[in-house]
Amino acid sequence: MGNPFVWVELHTGNLDAARAFYGALFDWQVTDVPLGASGGHYTMVDVGGGTGGGMMASPAPGVPPHWLAYVRVDDVTAALARAATLGAKVVQGRTEVPGFGWLGVITDPTGATLGLWQPKA
């Protein structure tokens, strides 16, 4: 498969409760990583094998808690442009995750949201 799912991420208004719940439910190992100048943190989730993920405070007010899946792409800018020509709405343009790669987020023509991930080479 050319473009596998590579990451899943929880966006929530109550990160502490989510960490406690999922850590207890699945015995996931969670580690907080500082987000630099913002003063916040990102919670990395180590599932012990398979696709990993993370948890973060919801970046947009009023958006219900949700899981967002990411698909690996070779070029996030090109994938965002192609998705737009196919009828998707670009929700978040190319955004660098320093030291790791770039992401983008689309909503497809059916209304489903999907993340795109280009790892740093």
Residues 6-44, buried b or exposed e (16+ Cβ, 10 A)? bbbbbbbeebeebbeebeeeeebebeeeeeeeeeebbbe
Same domain, 10 and 46: yes
Asked if 14 and 54 sit in the same domain, the reply is yes
Residues 5-24: tens digit of each pLDDT = 999 999 999 999 999 999 89
Among candidate residues 26, 48, 67, the one where a domain is terminated: 67
Lowest-pLDDT range, 1-5, 77-81, 107-111, 112-116? Answer: 1-5
pLDDT of residue 121: 83
Per-residue confidence (pLDDT) for residue 1, from 0 to 100: 57
The confidence score (pLDDT) of residue 41 equals 86
Closest CA to 7 of 112, 94, 118: 118
Domain that holds residue 79: 73-121
Average pLDDT in the chain: 93
Tell me the pLDDT tens digit for each residue of 20-58.
999 899 988 899 998 877 778 899 999 888 899 999 998
Of 24, 45, 67, the position where a domain reaches its end is: 67
Same domain, 58 and 1: yes
CA gap 3, 110 in Å, rounded:
20
Tokens representing 44? 């990395």
What CATH number does residue 84 fall under? 3.10.180.10
Looking at the fold, whether 120 and 84 belong to one and the same domain comes out as yes
